[in-house]
Structure 1
Amino acid sequence: MSEVPTRAWTRPYDWAEVVIGVVAALSPLWLNTDKMTMWTMVVLGALIAIDGLVSLATPGAVYSEGVQIVLGALLFIAPWVMSYTQFNGASWTSWVAGALTIIAGAAAMPQASAAHRMAGQH
């Protein structure tokens, strides 16, 4: 079994979450959107990036991976819920970034759980 990164700022899935969140938050700069679409993407993207930073700073915080999955799901369904499917670029960015956030959160869950267990042994 591979070693579980338990040190802060070392987990690749959390870095991926930060990058995905930043891209989603900044994407209205180069995508065609309206005001509501822009704010939806900025807020959800920023929350995803912030959650990634929290996960990086506290590698044993398993709840953060669950939050990441929920935020990814919210970003994924946002084009339908917030009615911006007419903006193809924004919709596809939401769907892809949301799916990647869910995947990264699910993939990081075992590492976070192991780091949480190891932190409890110290």
Structure 2
Amino acid sequence: MKRGTHPQDFLALIVGVYAALSPLWTTTTTKAATTMIVLGAITAVLSLIELVRPDLLSIEGLTAAMGVLFFISPWVMSFSDSRGIAWTAWVAGVITVVVGAADLQVTRTHRGGAVPTH
């Protein structure tokens, strides 16, 4: 697969960077800030890998999994009562899941793994 065939990875990169930096302007706790920084950085790195070397690894499923982790993190890490950072995690999660699923579909289509429809 060629570089640039995954434009949706730019959105995952933006979401990852936004999430990682969100503790700078959002009222938060240490646990929530750490969670958002780690999840955001991992998401950004995964999207960069996919943008630069889409043939290196098949990580689209990991991007979608990061979205799930974003979404559940306010409850798992007990910061759902900090509305600003919790909403950031929920929105980042939904966007990242959608981007990961779209990326997975594009990859399957390009590799010929898509099931033909009538």
TM-score (norm 1): 0.85
CA RMSD of aligned residues (A): 1.8
In structure 2, runs of 5+ residues without a counterpart are 113-118
2:108 pairs, out of 106, 113, 117, with 113
1:68 pairs, out of 43, 63, 76, with 63
Count of matched residue positions in the alignment of Structure 1 and Structure 2? 113
Tell me, what secondary structure is at the counterpart of 2:59? helix
Q: 1:65 is matched by which residue type in structure 2?
A: E
Q: 1:45 is matched by which residue type in structure 2?
A: G
User: Is the counterpart of residue 86 in structure 1 residue 112 in structure 2?
Assistant: no
- Whole-angstrom CA distance in 2 between matches of 1:72 and 1:42: 14
User: Is the counterpart of residue 11 in structure 1 residue 6 in structure 2?
Assistant: yes
- Whole-angstrom CA distance in 2 between matches of 1:25 and 1:8: 25
User: Is the counterpart of residue 36 in structure 1 residue 5 in structure 2?
Assistant: no
Q: CA deviation at 1:10?
A: 4.5
In structure 1, runs of 5+ residues without a counterpart are 1-5, 118-122
Contact 1:60 1:112 in 2 (8 A): no
Aligned ranges 1:43-54 → 2 under 5 Å: 43-54=38-49
TM-score (norm 2): 0.87
Q: Which has the higher helix share?
A: 1
Contact 1:17 1:48 in 2 (8 A): yes
Q: CA deviation at 1:57?
A: 1.6
Tell me, what secondary structure is at the counterpart of 1:8? coil
User: Is the counterpart of residue 27 in structure 1 residue 22 in structure 2?
Assistant: yes
Q: 1:59 is matched by which residue type in structure 2?
A: P
